[in-house]
A = this chain, B = another copy of it.
Amino acid sequence: MKKILIVEDDISIHNLIKEILLKEQYELLDAYSGSEALMILERENVDLILLDLMLPNINGEEIIKKFSQIPIIVISAKISIDDKIENLLNGADDYITKPFNNGELVARVKVRLRNKDNCNHNLKFKELKLSFEDRTLYVCNNKVILTKTECAILKQLLLSPNKVISKSKMLELINYDTPDCDENSLKVHISNLKKKIKKYSEKKYIESVWGIGYKIFED
Protein backbone atom coordinates (compact mmCIF):
# COMPACT_ATOMS: atom_id res chain seq x y z
CA MET A 1 0.00 0.00 0.00
CA LYS A 2 1.38 3.36 -1.04
CA LYS A 3 2.05 6.07 1.53
CA ILE A 4 1.00 9.59 0.63
CA LEU A 5 1.91 12.60 2.73
CA ILE A 6 -0.57 15.46 2.59
CA VAL A 7 1.03 18.79 3.49
CA GLU A 8 -1.67 21.44 3.79
CA ASP A 9 -2.43 23.83 6.63
CA ASP A 10 -5.96 24.72 5.60
CA ILE A 11 -8.01 22.17 7.49
CA SER A 12 -10.98 22.09 5.13
CA ILE A 13 -8.83 21.57 2.02
CA HIS A 14 -6.72 19.05 3.90
CA ASN A 15 -9.79 17.05 4.80
CA LEU A 16 -11.16 17.29 1.30
CA ILE A 17 -7.97 15.83 -0.17
CA LYS A 18 -8.00 13.14 2.47
CA GLU A 19 -11.57 12.19 1.71
CA ILE A 20 -10.86 11.91 -2.01
CA LEU A 21 -7.79 9.73 -1.56
CA LEU A 22 -9.20 7.48 1.13
CA LYS A 23 -11.54 6.02 -1.46
CA GLU A 24 -8.49 4.93 -3.41
CA GLN A 25 -6.98 2.85 -0.64
CA TYR A 26 -3.82 4.74 0.10
CA GLU A 27 -2.14 5.08 3.44
CA LEU A 28 -2.34 8.78 4.27
CA LEU A 29 -0.02 10.82 6.49
CA ASP A 30 -0.90 14.32 7.57
CA ALA A 31 1.24 17.41 8.03
CA TYR A 32 -0.19 20.84 8.78
CA SER A 33 3.08 22.75 8.66
CA GLY A 34 6.43 22.61 6.93
CA SER A 35 8.30 21.52 10.01
CA GLU A 36 5.81 18.74 10.67
CA ALA A 37 6.26 17.58 7.09
CA LEU A 38 10.04 17.49 7.46
CA MET A 39 9.77 15.48 10.64
CA ILE A 40 7.57 12.87 8.99
CA LEU A 41 9.78 12.72 5.90
CA GLU A 42 12.85 11.98 8.00
CA ARG A 43 11.09 9.12 9.73
CA GLU A 44 8.84 7.51 7.15
CA ASN A 45 9.24 6.02 3.70
CA VAL A 46 6.84 8.23 1.81
CA ASP A 47 5.90 7.34 -1.78
CA LEU A 48 4.31 10.64 -2.77
CA ILE A 49 3.95 14.15 -1.36
CA LEU A 50 0.95 16.39 -2.00
CA LEU A 51 2.27 19.80 -1.14
CA ASP A 52 0.75 23.17 -0.52
CA LEU A 53 3.30 25.94 -0.94
CA MET A 54 2.22 28.52 1.57
CA LEU A 55 2.80 26.96 4.92
CA PRO A 56 3.44 28.13 8.44
CA ASN A 57 7.17 28.31 9.36
CA ILE A 58 9.07 26.36 6.67
CA ASN A 59 7.71 26.92 3.19
CA GLY A 60 7.01 24.35 0.54
CA GLU A 61 9.89 25.30 -1.73
CA GLU A 62 12.32 24.08 0.89
CA ILE A 63 10.66 20.68 1.03
CA ILE A 64 10.79 20.43 -2.76
CA LYS A 65 14.53 21.05 -2.78
CA LYS A 66 15.27 18.66 0.05
CA PHE A 67 13.07 15.75 -1.01
CA SER A 68 13.02 15.98 -4.76
CA GLN A 69 13.78 12.27 -5.00
CA ILE A 70 10.23 11.61 -3.81
CA PRO A 71 7.43 12.36 -6.30
CA ILE A 72 5.88 15.70 -5.36
CA ILE A 73 2.63 17.14 -6.63
CA VAL A 74 2.22 20.79 -5.74
CA ILE A 75 -1.34 21.82 -5.01
CA SER A 76 -1.34 25.56 -4.85
CA ALA A 77 -3.41 28.68 -5.19
CA LYS A 78 -0.33 30.40 -6.57
CA ILE A 79 -1.44 30.60 -10.14
CA SER A 80 1.42 32.74 -11.40
CA ILE A 81 2.98 30.90 -14.30
CA ASP A 82 6.46 31.80 -13.10
CA ASP A 83 5.89 30.18 -9.73
CA LYS A 84 4.67 27.09 -11.51
CA ILE A 85 7.70 26.90 -13.78
CA GLU A 86 10.15 27.58 -10.99
CA ASN A 87 8.75 24.87 -8.75
CA LEU A 88 8.62 22.32 -11.54
CA LEU A 89 12.24 23.01 -12.38
CA ASN A 90 13.26 22.84 -8.74
CA GLY A 91 11.98 19.33 -8.26
CA ALA A 92 8.19 19.21 -8.23
CA ASP A 93 6.76 16.54 -10.50
CA ASP A 94 3.39 18.07 -11.16
CA TYR A 95 1.48 21.20 -10.33
CA ILE A 96 -2.25 21.43 -9.72
CA THR A 97 -3.90 24.77 -9.10
CA LYS A 98 -6.74 25.29 -6.65
CA PRO A 99 -9.58 24.82 -7.05
CA PHE A 100 -8.87 21.41 -8.50
CA ASN A 101 -11.06 18.72 -10.02
CA ASN A 102 -11.29 15.65 -7.77
CA GLY A 103 -10.97 13.17 -10.59
CA GLU A 104 -7.95 14.91 -12.02
CA LEU A 105 -6.25 14.92 -8.64
CA VAL A 106 -6.74 11.17 -8.31
CA ALA A 107 -5.56 10.61 -11.88
CA ARG A 108 -2.40 12.65 -11.40
CA VAL A 109 -1.67 10.87 -8.12
CA LYS A 110 -2.02 7.54 -9.87
CA VAL A 111 0.25 8.63 -12.68
CA ARG A 112 3.00 9.59 -10.25
CA LEU A 113 2.68 6.29 -8.39
CA ARG A 114 2.26 4.23 -11.53
CA ASN A 115 5.89 3.79 -12.41
CA LYS A 116 6.53 2.34 -9.01
CA ASP A 117 3.58 -0.04 -9.27
CA ASN A 118 3.92 -1.04 -12.83
CA CYS A 119 7.35 -2.43 -12.43
CA ASN A 120 6.27 -5.21 -10.15
CA HIS A 121 3.97 -7.44 -12.08
CA ASN A 122 1.73 -9.02 -9.55
CA LEU A 123 -0.92 -11.67 -9.40
CA LYS A 124 -3.27 -12.11 -6.53
CA PHE A 125 -5.63 -14.85 -5.47
CA LYS A 126 -7.15 -14.78 -2.01
CA GLU A 127 -4.22 -14.88 0.38
CA LEU A 128 -1.65 -15.58 -2.32
CA LYS A 129 0.26 -12.68 -3.82
CA LEU A 130 2.84 -13.45 -6.45
CA SER A 131 5.30 -10.89 -7.68
CA PHE A 132 6.96 -12.70 -10.54
CA GLU A 133 9.44 -9.92 -11.15
CA ASP A 134 11.45 -11.03 -8.14
CA ARG A 135 9.74 -14.40 -7.73
CA THR A 136 8.41 -13.56 -4.33
CA LEU A 137 5.22 -15.16 -3.09
CA TYR A 138 3.34 -13.80 -0.13
CA VAL A 139 1.27 -16.45 1.65
CA CYS A 140 -0.97 -14.72 4.19
CA ASN A 141 1.57 -11.90 4.06
CA ASN A 142 4.50 -14.20 4.73
CA LYS A 143 7.32 -13.89 2.25
CA VAL A 144 8.39 -17.01 0.40
CA ILE A 145 10.99 -17.10 -2.34
CA LEU A 146 10.11 -19.28 -5.30
CA THR A 147 12.45 -20.85 -7.78
CA LYS A 148 12.20 -20.03 -11.45
CA THR A 149 10.18 -23.12 -12.27
CA GLU A 150 7.90 -22.89 -9.27
CA CYS A 151 7.19 -19.28 -10.13
CA ALA A 152 6.46 -20.10 -13.75
CA ILE A 153 4.04 -22.83 -12.73
CA LEU A 154 2.22 -20.76 -10.13
CA LYS A 155 2.01 -17.85 -12.52
CA GLN A 156 0.18 -19.97 -15.05
CA LEU A 157 -2.17 -21.33 -12.41
CA LEU A 158 -2.95 -17.85 -11.06
CA LEU A 159 -3.55 -16.48 -14.53
CA SER A 160 -6.66 -18.63 -14.79
CA PRO A 161 -7.91 -19.39 -11.30
CA ASN A 162 -10.42 -22.20 -10.90
CA LYS A 163 -9.52 -23.48 -14.34
CA VAL A 164 -7.70 -26.75 -14.80
CA ILE A 165 -4.43 -26.68 -16.67
CA SER A 166 -3.43 -30.08 -18.01
CA LYS A 167 0.05 -31.30 -17.31
CA SER A 168 1.02 -31.25 -20.97
CA LYS A 169 -0.40 -27.75 -21.37
CA MET A 170 1.51 -26.62 -18.31
CA LEU A 171 4.76 -28.05 -19.62
CA GLU A 172 4.14 -26.24 -22.88
CA LEU A 173 3.42 -22.96 -21.09
CA ILE A 174 6.53 -23.03 -18.94
CA ASN A 175 8.70 -24.47 -21.68
CA TYR A 176 10.54 -21.21 -22.22
CA ASP A 177 11.64 -21.07 -18.60
CA THR A 178 12.48 -24.72 -18.13
CA PRO A 179 12.75 -26.64 -21.39
CA ASP A 180 13.84 -29.88 -19.70
CA CYS A 181 10.92 -30.21 -17.34
CA ASP A 182 8.83 -33.33 -17.81
CA GLU A 183 5.80 -34.76 -16.03
CA ASN A 184 7.83 -36.37 -13.34
CA SER A 185 9.70 -33.19 -12.67
CA LEU A 186 6.50 -31.16 -12.72
CA LYS A 187 5.15 -33.41 -10.02
CA VAL A 188 8.09 -32.55 -7.81
CA HIS A 189 7.77 -28.84 -8.41
CA ILE A 190 4.07 -28.91 -7.58
CA SER A 191 4.89 -30.81 -4.42
CA ASN A 192 7.48 -28.24 -3.43
CA LEU A 193 5.09 -25.41 -4.15
CA LYS A 194 2.44 -27.00 -1.97
CA LYS A 195 4.94 -27.38 0.81
CA LYS A 196 5.91 -23.71 0.64
CA ILE A 197 2.27 -22.65 0.73
CA LYS A 198 1.38 -25.04 3.53
CA LYS A 199 4.00 -23.50 5.76
CA TYR A 200 1.91 -20.35 6.13
CA SER A 201 -1.64 -21.37 5.22
CA GLU A 202 -4.07 -24.16 6.02
CA LYS A 203 -5.68 -23.66 2.67
CA LYS A 204 -4.14 -25.77 -0.03
CA TYR A 205 -4.81 -23.53 -3.03
CA ILE A 206 -3.27 -25.98 -5.48
CA GLU A 207 -5.57 -28.87 -6.30
CA SER A 208 -4.76 -31.75 -8.56
CA VAL A 209 -7.45 -32.90 -10.92
CA TRP A 210 -7.09 -36.62 -11.29
CA GLY A 211 -6.11 -37.70 -14.76
CA ILE A 212 -5.88 -34.17 -16.09
CA GLY A 213 -3.70 -31.65 -14.29
CA TYR A 214 -3.78 -28.90 -11.70
CA LYS A 215 -5.76 -25.86 -10.77
CA ILE A 216 -5.87 -23.04 -8.28
CA PHE A 217 -9.05 -23.15 -6.28
CA GLU A 218 -10.78 -21.67 -3.32
CA ASP A 219 -12.22 -24.12 -0.89
Q: In the complex, which of the residues B69, B101, B209 contacts A135, with contact meaning CB atoms closer than 8 Å?
A: B209
Q: Which residues of B lie under 8 Å from residue A110 when comparing CB positions?
A: 88-89
A211 within 8 A of B: yes
Does A187 interact with chain B (Cβ within 8 Å)?
A: no
Q: Does A212 contact B (CB under 8 A)?
A: yes
Using Cβ atoms and an 8 Å threshold, which residues of chain B touch A106? 85
Give chain A interface residues in 121-159, CB to chain B under 8 Å.
122-124, 126, 133-135, 147-148
- Determine whether the beta carbon of B120 is less than 8 Å from that of A68: yes
Min CB distance A151 to B, Å, is 10
Asked if A13 is at the interface of the complex by the 8 Å CB criterion, the answer is no
CA distance A160 to B162 in the complex (A): 27
Tell whether A98 is near chain B: CB-to-CB under 8 Å.
no
**Inter-chain contacts of A93 with B (CB < 8 A):** 111
On chain B, the residues within 8 Å of A99 by CB distance are none
Any chain B CB within 8 A of the CB of A196? no
Q: Does A84 contact B (CB under 8 A)?
A: yes
Contact check, B209 vs A119: say whether CB atoms are below 8 A apart: no
Interface status of A30 (Cβ within 8 A of chain B) = no
Contact residues on A (Cβ < 8 Å of other chain), bracket: 35 or more
Interface string of A100-117 (1 = CB under 8 A from B): 010110111011000010
Give chain B residues whose Cβ lies under 8 Å from the Cβ of A162: 120, 134
- Indicate if A9 sits at the interface (CB-CB under 8 A): no
Output the least CB separation between A87 and chain B (Å). Answer: 9
B119 contacts A163, C-beta separation under 8 Å: yes
Q: Which of A106, A110, A124 has the most CB of B within 10 A?
A: A124
Q: Once the chains are docked, how many angstroms separate the CA of A157 from the CA of B101?
A: 36
Known pairs A93-B111, A111-B93; A104 contacts B84 (CB<8 A): yes
Q: Which 9 A-B pairs have the closest CB atoms?
A: A88-B107, A134-B164, A85-B107, A85-B103, A69-B120, A81-B101, A88-B111, A119-B163, A68-B120
Residues of chain A having any CB pair with chain B under 8 Å? 45, 68-69, 81-82, 84-85, 88-89, 91-94, 101, 103-104, 106-108, 110-111, 116, 119-120, 122-124, 126, 133-135, 147-148, 160, 162-164, 209-212, 215
